[in-house]
Amino acid sequence: MNQDPRWQIHRHLAEQTDERLQLVRNAPQHILLAGADNDISRSLLAARYPQASFSEYDPRAEFLQTASAARKSGFWQKLTGKSIPQHCQSLSVPLPEAAADMLWANLSLITADALPPVFRNWAHALKTDGLLFFTHFGRDTLEELRGRLKSHGINCEALTLIDMHDLGDMLADNGFYDPVTDTAKLELSYRQAATFWQDMEILGIWNALQCEKPQAAQDFVNRIFAGEGRLNITLETVYGHAVKKPVLPQGESLVTFYPKK
């Protein structure tokens, strides 16, 4: 797998999520990648499910290009001669209906303007009982830095960085059942502003903060590095999975029979 250090957080979250697939009984035949991550997720999933086909979607053309380049330089494409169909579109643009057995989204929700339309779209793309696995950032991400910015009159409103329980409720309200979410925290220390900004760009977090004074916020962060020589931050990572609800014809409802005890 590509070990480019710029993608180390994507790699960490993908590996953690991949371990949860040991509980999956039926191997998916088609996996929809909602978000490109330098071919990290596809490599893991292809190793676990060698018979699976893939399609890849991302609103960021450069992310798709990076993933494609990683595959071309890797062993898999040279061996198989196969390429992955790629589509550059926002997460809320309709996906092919009931096309995938599994939808995998590693840190792509950060590009969304609102989460419910994305979850509805993902449910639309999955077959009945299809599986969703995703990672995201929670509401406590960059909490220390956001507090410092606010104390200097710079408010940042991160509407899509929300509590994991709210994420679970959104999944249940938008086409999924049995949603499971949990969190972990990564504490990072940066000594170089350039490295911090590089990570913020690849992770998409800075854009998601929606600071009301973007240039003032960036200047403030640079002054922290100039004056203190480092910046410590916290990333709250969220792991989630859920199952696509059955879609019944209008006027019909699901009836479940339970054996007598």
Nearest in space to 153 (alpha carbons), one of 232, 216, 79, 109: 216
Express each pLDDT in 10-20 by its tens digit: 999 999 999 99
State pTM to two decimals.
0.90
pLDDT score recorded for residue 40? 97
151 domain-assigned: no
Residue 200, in any domain of the structure: no
Q: Which two tokens stand for residue 143?
A: 């909490």
Rounded-to-integer distance, Cα 236 and Cα 142, Å:
8
Q: Flag whether pLDDT at 254 surpasses 60.
A: no
- Please give the tally of structural domains in the chain: 1
Q: Which range marks the domain in which residue 49 is found?
A: 5-139+159-185+234-244
Q: What is the pLDDT of residue 256?
A: 53
The CATH number linked to 42 is 3.40.50.150
Is residue 258 domain-resident? no
The pLDDT tens digits of the residues spanning 178-202 come to 999 999 999 999 999 999 999 999 9
Average pLDDT, the chain: 91
Residue 181 β-bridge partners: 240
Rounded Cα distance between 10 and 106, Å, is 7
How open is the CA angle 86-199-8, to the nearest 5 degrees? 70
Is residue 244 a contact partner of residue 132, using CB atoms and an 8 Å limit?
A: yes
Q: Are 120 and 235 a contacting pair, CB within 8 Å?
A: no
What whole-number distance in Å separates Cα of residue 78 and Cα of residue 42?
15
